[in-house]
């Protein structure tokens, strides 16, 4: 719906400009976009959702055609209640992924005067954390692709920089946010949780210490498995204890690593 509107606007640009003086201001305005950094985790690696630019837009008005980029697009001045709504709407349009507005956390504003060759464009970057297993089917493989964090291609515009900043924000927020909740599937193992923290924080932890600390927080509860474990080779499955987590959080807690 929104896509077709954007397409029309772009396609009609030439005669619009000549015949209608559509939107006029007494001093220059920048264009404003929202970009999305969607992080996913498959139990092994941290991943990011990227799109290939220009597949379906008029190439003459689209920069960086054929390059990989972060999903995102222009603020709808009349309809988007906030810039986070822009992020959610554009993500849906470009990748099929439907997230709630409050799943987006603001990363920051990128406003370098020449960051877009077409006109002055200011972008507000947002990141979101998703359970990869649960959303993979919902992402439109025609347009979007999940890239391993360690294997990201060069991106269009200043999106390389935006991605780096988004990752460092995630790295900071991991101390205050329930990152595990949001990235892991509902049932997970301790090694998976540890690997996730190690991926984001870019450090290695001692297995025993990590397990001790996690147990100490009392936010994990064992999932009783149908198949009784014989050895220790197959890891124990856990799920988050949301009640305990919420109680900790409301007391102003902080995950320390």
Which residues lie near its own copies (CB under 8 A)? 9, 12-13, 16-17, 21-32, 74-75, 77-78, 80-84, 106, 108-109, 111-113, 120, 122, 124
**Contacted by 168, from its own copies, DNA, none: CB < 5 to 8 Å by type:** none
100 CB-side CA count, 13 A: 3
Residue corresponding to tokens 């972008």: 123
Minimum distance between the CB of residue 133 and DNA, rounded to whole angstroms? 17
**Contacted by 232, from DNA, its own copies, none: CB < 5 to 8 Å by type:** DNA
**Contacted by 28, from its own copies, DNA, none: CB < 5 to 8 Å by type:** its own copies
Contact positions with DNA (CB under 7 A) in 216-255: 216, 230-236
DSSP code of 150? G
d(CA 189, CA 45): 14
- Helices 159-173 and 190-201 pack at an angle, to 10 degrees, of 130
The residue among 172, 209, 167 whose CA lies nearest residue 190 is 209
**Contacted by 150, from DNA, its own copies, none: CB < 5 to 8 Å by type:** none
Nearer to DNA, 81 or 208 (CB): 208
Retrieve residue 118's tokens. Answer: 């077409």
**Which three-class secondary structure state does DSSP give residue 211?**
helix
Which element (helix H / strand E) includes 68?
A: strand 68-69
The count of chain residues that interact with DNA, using the rule CB under 7 A, is: 19
- Site string (160-199) toward DNA, x via CB under 7 A: -----------------------------xxx--------
CA 50 to centroid of chain Cα atoms:
10
- Residue ranges in contact with DNA by CB under 7 A: 189-191, 206-209, 211-213, 216, 230-236, 256
């Amino acid at each position: 719906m929104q896509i077709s509107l954007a397409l029309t606007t772009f396609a009609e640009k030439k005669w619009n400009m000549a015949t209608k003086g559509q939107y006029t201001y007494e001093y220059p305005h920048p264009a404003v976009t929202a970009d999305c950094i969607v992080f996913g985790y498959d139990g092994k690696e941290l991943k990011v959702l990227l799109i290939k630019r220009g597949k379906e837009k008029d190439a003459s008005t689209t920069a960086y055609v054929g390059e990989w980029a972060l999903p995102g697009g222009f603020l709808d001045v009349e309809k988007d209640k906030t810039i986070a709504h822009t992020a959610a709407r554009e993500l849906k349009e470009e990748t099929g992924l439907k997230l709630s507005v409050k799943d987006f956390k603001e990363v920051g504003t990128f406003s370098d005067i020449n960051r877009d060759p077409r006109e002055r464009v200011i972008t507000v970057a947002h990141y979101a954390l998703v359970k990869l297993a649960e959303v993979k089917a919902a992402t439109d493989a025609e347009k979007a692709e999940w890239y391993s964090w360690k294997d990201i291609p060069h991106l269009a515009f200043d999106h390389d920089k935006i991605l780096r900043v988004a990752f460092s924000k995630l790295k900071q927020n991991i101390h205050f946010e329930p990152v595990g909740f949001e990235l892991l599937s509902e049932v997970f193992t301790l090694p998976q949780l540890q690997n996730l923290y190690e991926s984001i924080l870019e450090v290695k932890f001692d297995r025993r210490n990590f397990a001790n600390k996690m147990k100490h927080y009392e936010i994990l509860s064992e999932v009783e498995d149908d198949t009784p474990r014989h050895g220790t080779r197959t890891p124990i499955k856990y799920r988050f204890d949301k009640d305990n987590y919420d109680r900790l959080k409301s007391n102003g807690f902080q995950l320390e690593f």
